[in-house]
């Protein structure tokens, strides 16, 4: 299987590159610029998400794509629009033109960031984006659904919490995703015969998380890591009250940024 990974110079891509090489052997790395530190089994095909010709070249001969590219944090509307909405549409059109029928889409918990922390939700609950960035991920999940139903491009959308090697604070203990567990989800998206279009949560086996990830488990996801394995008594007891909005919602500081609404009403509406 020849696999393309976009956003290849980003942090998460760096975590899973060795695993990609080991499993698939033929890995195409794409970013806006050339990837310089290529290893055996890797090749570089730079492409901007708004450049259809470059995307066509990047996807030539590819069987599946892990799409990590695009704007990864909150920004002004034009920046988010260019990369995560216009760019994602161009990406899917290029995939359709290239005959690619497997995509793993890096969505985000910020698509549901305005749910309160005490509320346990699953992938079928309505979206509640906490930022323009989160809104663009809602669009991405909808686009994936459209291209699966209309054109047969199977997509697994992974609502990533935070993918880092260790959970370093109390909030990360709730939303943490170990890179090995993320890679396991990627292999499910690229290989599982029953994938059509599915949203799952990108979280390791964290007993304090907010989400019912049953659809991922049904597809065979068995996370190997748990946030509790890294906890100390101090970090378990320490819940820093940085901001009342951040502490109320699953999106944390993304929800708090620019917040000018009615906190009680927002919480009540998502009860």
Q: How buried is 226 (Cβ within 10 angstroms: 0-12 exposed, 13-18 middle, 19+ buried)? A: middle
For residue 103, which phi and psi values (nearest 5 degrees)? -135, 135
Q: Do 119 and 210 meet the contact criterion of CB atoms below 8 Å apart?
A: yes
Q: How far apart are CA 131 and CA 126, in angstroms?
A: 16
- Secondary structure letter of residue 83 according to DSSP: I
Both tokens of residue 161? 């919490």
Catalytic residues: 133
CA 162 to centroid of chain Cα atoms: 9
Give, in order, the Cα–Cα distances in Å from 10 to each of 30, 108, 196, 222, 268.
Answer: 10, 15, 27, 25, 37
Burial per residue of 139-154, b for 16 or more beta-carbon CB atoms within 10 angstroms, e otherwise: bbbebbbebbeeeebb
Q: How far apart are CA 85 and CA 79, in angstroms?
A: 10
């Amino acid at each position: 299987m020849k696999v393309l990974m976009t956003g290849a110079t980003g942090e998460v891509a760096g975590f899973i590159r060795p695993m990609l090489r080991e499993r698939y052997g033929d890995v195409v790395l794409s970013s806006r610029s050339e990837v310089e530190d290529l290893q055996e089994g890797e090749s570089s095909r730079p492409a901007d998400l708004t450049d259809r010709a470059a995307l066509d070249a990047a996807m030539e001969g590819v069987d599946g794509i892990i799409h990590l590219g695009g704007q990864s944090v909150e920004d002004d509307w034009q920046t988010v629009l260019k990369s995560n909405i216009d760019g994602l549409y161009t990406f899917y059109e290029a995939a359709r033109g290239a005959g690619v029928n497997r995509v793993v889409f890096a969505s985000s918990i910020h698509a549901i960031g305005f749910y309160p922390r005490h509320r346990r939700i699953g992938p079928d609950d309505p979206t509640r984006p906490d930022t323009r960035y989160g809104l663009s991920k809602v669009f991405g999940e909808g686009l994936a659904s459209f291209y699966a139903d209309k054109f047969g491009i199977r997509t697994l959308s992974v609502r990533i919490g935070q993918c880092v090697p260790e959970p370093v604070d109390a909030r990360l203990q709730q939303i943490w995703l170990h890179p090995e567990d993320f890679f396991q989800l990627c292999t499910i998206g690229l290989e599982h015969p029953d994938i059509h279009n599915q949203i799952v949560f990108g979280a390791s086996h964290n007993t304090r998380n907010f989400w019912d990830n049953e659809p991922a488990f049904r597809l065979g996801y068995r996370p190997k890591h748990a946030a509790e394995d890294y906890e100390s008594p101090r970090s378990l007891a320490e819940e820093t009250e940085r901001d009342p909005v951040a502490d109320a919602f699953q999106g944390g500081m993304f929800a708090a940024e620019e917040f000018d609404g009615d906190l009680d009403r927002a919480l009540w509406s998502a009860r």
